[in-house]
Amino acid sequence: VAIRRFSVVGVIIFYFCQVYSQSAKITNPYDGQYFRSPVDYDFQLSGNFCELRETHFHAGIDIKPSSIFGRVPLYSIGKGYVSRIKISAGGYGKAIFIEHPEVGYTSVYAHLDGFNDRIEFIINQHQKSLESYEIDILLNPDILPIEKGAFIGNMGNTGHSFGKHLHFEIRDTKTEKPINPFHFGIKSEDHIAPSLITLAIHGLDPDFYKIWEKRISLIHQKEKEITITTPIEVPAWRTGIALNMFDKSDNSHNKQGIYGFHLYVDDSLVYSYHLDKISYDQSRYITGFYDYKVRKKENTTYSLCYKYPGNNLDFLNTGDNGLIPVYIAKERKVRMEIEDFNKNRRTIHFSLIRAEQMTEQTAKDSTLSVIKVGDSLAVNDNYLSIYFEPNSLFRNIRLNIQKEENAKNEIKYHIHDKYEPIKKPIKIGLTPKFPKPNKLDKAIIVRTNGNGGSKVNYGGRWSKEQLTTDMIEFGTFFIDYDTIAPTIKSISFTPNVGKKSEVRFQIKDNLPTRGKMVDNIRIKVWIDGNFVISPYTSKTQILQIPMKDLSNGGHDLKIEVIDHSGNVANFTAGFVVKK
């Protein structure tokens, strides 16, 4: 009896192990099999994970179409359900999120042209009930369950996209952190090592400001190992390196980002990273990851190979911030390795030595107050208040604010230096010297690049007597009044619509907008008093009104457009459909 009982337990344990090992095998999303490709051809990329965009690290990969003509169907990479649908005039355009609960990841597909019938049906329902083309809805698991490989929609060019492609992401569902899709086997062929354009050597002061720079072109160096034989003389105590570089993958002309970087000084690793994950909160720290001033002035991107004190990007591995102290009598031996995901690698060797003659540092204005990266500071003038939260900055600044008042008592504030990057949005409040009570709802905060620069609408909300917004760039800020309504101009509308399947209008507002404290224009379209879902695209400023479901005969069209300041534009017209 005892033996039999033992064997039953043994069988159960054996069976349990089998099930356990099988399920462990099935649910390994990194095995290259769990997820499939979102397309059914060997794709090429026009963008890779974490490549450096102006305001963020690219959160996914950009997959090129198999052909620019015709439909390019897209498929769910795994089993799960549609958990979110977001339709917007800019940004991701038509986008869906598919949650894969078995493994805890969510796949994201953006810039689609359209969706499968079931998804389109759900979208239409929400657009109608919300009376808005733009929607952002969360769905329960039972509404749109989906199998691995199921058709979800077609590749498109909607939202902030400039050419047909799929923007594809895989996120950790819980943390929402995007992860490099290459880790799941969703990648293209790559046998091409990264391209190195220019090496920059920065002489730095103790606050990480550049006091000297030397650039060395690497563009003609095609070898895997580059050696610069003459020691580079640096007329400063400490050095930082920056690199202008990109990667290419097979059969794609697009410049993409590199994957891994290692900087060794005298054979010890001082700065390195692998671009495996990026959190959305940290994505905007990119302005302290590349040379911001050079990017703004020359439109060229140099990755810094050293870390500003405030730049706590999770993926950075640094000892001593990647700074290299230089000495007169001792050469520092530097080695940099730059690689892509497939381990195609370039290496640069050179050495640094301190010059006899040092660069004179320009004296800093000691009347200005210093803001250290970890400190908070409130700045209050009669008509201005700024609050720097701790860690709003990448490096210490000496805050420079200039006030300028014109004959009409309008005050402009030139706030610090437009070439200094900001890490986190900084609250700024402006108070009008002579408030215009009848125009308060039209008041906005405007930013320009100094005097005469073009205006950008930062919106703002009133809080007591003050209009407040988030400053994400330094520059010139002042209160302005937007009393100009958007414009609605016909492109293809005539009173005789005939057989047209849609009519188009151009919708424009007078000022470009920036930041989260400004509302974009809201557009509504009615035909015969019924709300009509009409796609609008910010980049083209084109509104498309569908006509295909209308019956023959006369109809009434009404378009309403409202901007951030509540300025309203209306267009009404009668028209005739004859199919």
Task: Give the binding site for Zn ion (CB under 5 A).
Answer: 62, 167
Q: What's the closest the beta carbon of residue 79 comes to Zn ion, in angstroms?
A: 25
Q: Closer to Zn ion by CB, 62 or 473: give it.
A: 62
Q: What's the closest the beta carbon of residue 42 comes to Zn ion, in angstroms?
A: 19
Which residue has its beta carbon closest to Zn ion? 167
The partner residues of 207 in beta bridges, in order of sequence, read none
Q: What's the closest the beta carbon of residue 109 comes to Zn ion, in angstroms?
A: 11
Q: Exposed e or buried b for every residue in 394-424, given b needs 16+ CB within 10 A? A: bbbbebeeeeeeeeeeebbbbbbebebbbbb
CA 27, 29, 32, 37: dihedral to nearest 10 degrees?
110
Taking alpha carbons only, the member of 415, 419, 420 closest to residue 458 is 415
Q: Cα 197 to chain center, whole Å?
A: 24
Q: Closer to Zn ion by CB, 46 or 303: give it.
A: 46
Q: Closer to Zn ion by CB, 45 or 471: give it.
A: 45
In whole angstroms, give the CA distance from residue 553 to residue 529: 16
Give the C-alpha distances (Å, rounded to integers) separating 463 from 95, 270, 427: 35, 47, 12
Q: What's the closest the beta carbon of residue 298 comes to Zn ion, in angstroms?
A: 24
Q: What's the closest the beta carbon of residue 358 comes to Zn ion, in angstroms?
A: 45
Q: What's the closest the beta carbon of residue 170 comes to Zn ion, in angstroms?
A: 13
Surface-to-core class of residue 228, CB atoms within 10 Å of its CB (0-12 exposed, 13-18 middle, 19+ buried) = middle
What are the structure tokens assigned to 123, written together? Answer: 């979208």
Q: Closer to Zn ion by CB, 257 or 322: give it.
A: 257
Taking alpha carbons only, the member of 394, 355, 348 closest to residue 371 is 394
Q: What's the closest the beta carbon of residue 38 comes to Zn ion, in angstroms?
A: 13
Q: Closer to Zn ion by CB, 62 or 563: give it.
A: 62
Q: Closer to Zn ion by CB, 167 or 395: give it.
A: 167
Task: Please report, in angstroms and rounded to a whole number, the separation of the first and last CA atoms in the chain.
Answer: 86
Rounded to 5°, the CA angle 41-46-47 comes to 115
Q: What's the closest the beta carbon of residue 67 comes to Zn ion, in angstroms?
A: 19
Q: Closer to Zn ion by CB, 167 or 354: give it.
A: 167
Q: What's the closest the beta carbon of residue 334 comes to Zn ion, in angstroms?
A: 34
Q: What's the closest the beta carbon of residue 283 comes to Zn ion, in angstroms?
A: 13
Give the C-alpha distances (Å, rounded to integers) separating 372 from 240, 269, 333, 530: 20, 28, 32, 57
CB atoms within 10 A of CB 241: 25
In whole angstroms, give the CA distance from residue 522 to residue 502: 20
Contacts of 62 (CB under 8 A, 6+ apart): 45, 46, 47, 48, 165, 166, 167, 168
Taking alpha carbons only, the member of 201, 202, 233 closest to residue 217 is 201
In whole angstroms, give the CA distance from residue 534 to residue 526: 9
Q: Closer to Zn ion by CB, 62 or 420: give it.
A: 62
The DSSP string of 129-174 is HHT-S-EEEE--TTTSEE-TT-EEEE-B--SS-SSSBEEEEEEETT
Q: Closer to Zn ion by CB, 62 or 470: give it.
A: 62
Q: Closer to Zn ion by CB, 162 or 434: give it.
A: 162
Q: What's the closest the beta carbon of residue 60 comes to Zn ion, in angstroms?
A: 5
Asked if 531 and 131 count as a contact pair (C-beta separation under 8 A), the reply is: yes
Q: What's the closest the beta carbon of residue 186 comes to Zn ion, in angstroms?
A: 14
Q: Closer to Zn ion by CB, 160 or 442: give it.
A: 160
CB atoms within 10 A of CB 303: 20
Q: Closer to Zn ion by CB, 62 or 247: give it.
A: 62
Asked if 384 and 428 count as a contact pair (C-beta separation under 8 A), the reply is: yes
